[in-house]
Structure 1
Amino acid sequence: MTTAVSSSAPLGNESIITGEAIELEVRPASGPLRALAGIIDAGLWVATGIFAMLMYTRFGPVLNPAQAQTLLILGIAALTFGIPFLIEWLTGGRSLGKTVVGIRVLREDGGPVRLRHVFVRALVGVVENWATFGALATVVSLANARGRRLGDLLAGTYCVRMRDVESDPYPLVLPPELTEWVRTADIAPIPSNLSNRARIFLTRSATMSPQARQTHAESLAAELEGFVSPPSPAGTHPERFMAAVLVRRRNEEYLSLLRHREAVR
């Protein structure tokens, strides 16, 4: 025997919403972890550079000066930008050093990084990691709470511990009575700050007083309504409305991620 779910009832624990199975209460990676990851990555690039220089020393003499200079420039560009960019893009925000210490790069709203985020991080990294030998990255990361370097600030990303990211103790559930509505609804791009606040609220709502919970739910739902058309069915509880919208957004992120993984295979 099944029990009908009322659209006017608040959400229970089954409605915890995350993007790409990401728990929202993740902790930013600590400075020492990021530093260790950077040292490991730098060691890999230095070893690769030494190997490349040995090959250049061996085969360089057979090239004319213009060819040798071009090869040298391409090699430096590959080591400082090209290879780090490709690795982080293909692995979804990881590198050898990050994988070893257990951290990963995410967007500010908790979603997986995209090509644009990785490109900005890699491009700025040429200056802050290589041109200044990591000094600029260190100073900037010490100046903000999440330990974000300049590339993170410009790209809208930050590093988190992977064991926090990959934990998802709750099933992802779309309120069943809103399935048909959210399937056909037109949902415009939602600002990262708003979607993140809605997700955090849903994870913490059970610990709030009933009055504060209702007030916050109505306020956030009112903000989200501006990005959704048509409105949800009359009488829908604001928490269930938020859950439906965020599940739809999460599903779209899943599909985008799957398409990306298929494209790089």
Structure 2
Amino acid sequence: MENRISVTTPEFVNLEFETAGVGSRALALLLDWLILSTAGLLLLIPASLFMGLSEIVGNPFWSSLIIAVFFFLFLFLPLAYYVLTEYFMNGQTIGKKVMGLRVISDQGTAPGFLAVFLRNLLRMVDNLPLLYLVGMTAVMIHSREKRLGDLAAGTLVVSLRGQPMPQIRFLYANGEPLFASRELSPVTEQQWMTLDRYLHRREWMTPAARQTLAAKLVIVLFPDMKIEPGKEEFYLETAYIQLGPYQEHPYFMQL
């Protein structure tokens, strides 16, 4: 059964998501475990080689040091994997990406490093007593299907596999551009996603709500531009067209 929730972003955009249930999260976790197991086996190769060399040398100090180093690597490999992938892959591990899942904050934005670190640090608690029994129980009883790590970090896992968004229907910006792209202030990826979602979903809003939200978005996303009252949607459409795909445009900045 789908569990759909609504969140309000810092830009006052209401977004609807489908939370990820136990089944899809378990499959994503299994894929990540397979990756971690493979990485662990690969680590055994240099570990065995170094141990063999240390025995040939016959120095107990080097043997102890090598054991300590590889023990540390094996111990922290899972935490490093989950933290680095979720942070640098925009809320996804490889397993989550395959399963179409993503970690977001309670405000619908990409989680920060501290939130990602905290939710993954608490995996050891969610994993108790074994096979994520505590975590799965929490997911099943929580209204937003959160495990303990999500509760502590203020995050949730959502499914990206739903009906595709409708195509954007441009209402105003079909003629001459309102301004050149060089006039735009730099925007972050999250701000670009907010603009994209607004233009996709605005036709579901009342005219008054659309106008109010458009005015707020112009102030938040492009504070340096002076816009004639009533032309905010025209401006947002033009900005969207001028910026083009996020990854290809120089007027975006990284968080």
Pick the TM interval, shorter chain.
Answer: 0.5 to 0.7
2:25 maps to a residue whose letter is R
1:49 Cα deviation from its structure 2 partner: 3.5
Match of 1:39 in 2: 30
TM-score normalised per structure 1: 0.57
Match of 1:72 in 2: 71
Contact 1:104 1:162 in 2 (8 A): yes
Match of 1:170 in 2: 167
**1:179 partner SS:** coil
Match of 1:27 in 2: 18
Cα distance in 2 for partners of 1:58, 1:220 equals 62
TM-score normalised per structure 2: 0.59
Q: Give the structure, 1 or 2, with the largest relative contact order (CA under 8 Å, sep 6 or more).
A: 1
- Percent of aligned pairs sharing the same letter: 20
Residue deviations 1:104-157, cap 9 Å, x none? 44566767x5xx746742x33543223542456446545654434465567675
1:215 maps to a residue whose letter is A
Contact 1:87 1:95 in 2 (8 A): yes
Residue deviations 1:56-106, cap 9 Å, x none? 4675463422332122113322x2223334444565544342244333445
1:223 aligns to 2:216 (yes or no): yes
1:30 maps to a residue whose letter is G
CA root-mean-square deviation: 4.7
Question: CA 1:86/1:53 → structure 2, altered by over 3 Å: closer, same or farther?
Answer: same
Cα distance in 2 for partners of 1:259, 1:201 equals 20
Question: CA 1:159/1:126 → structure 2, altered by over 3 Å: closer, same or farther?
Answer: closer
Cα distance in 2 for partners of 1:135, 1:250 equals 45
Contact 1:221 1:241 in 2 (8 A): no
Cα distance in 2 for partners of 1:220, 1:64 equals 64
Contact 1:137 1:150 in 2 (8 A): yes
Question: CA 1:232/1:109 → structure 2, altered by over 3 Å: closer, same or farther?
Answer: farther
Question: CA 1:50/1:101 → structure 2, altered by over 3 Å: closer, same or farther?
Answer: same
Unmatched segments (≥5 aa) in structure 2: 1-14, 55-61
Cα distance in 2 for partners of 1:199, 1:259 equals 17
1:33 Cα deviation from its structure 2 partner: 0.4
Greater helix share, structure number: 1
Residue deviations 1:147-175, cap 9 Å, x none? 3446556767543434449x455158582
Unmatched segments (≥5 aa) in structure 1: 1-23, 261-265
**2:226 partner SS:** coil
**2:19 partner SS:** coil
2:233 maps to a residue whose letter is E
Aligned length: 223
Cα distance in 2 for partners of 1:247, 1:151 equals 39
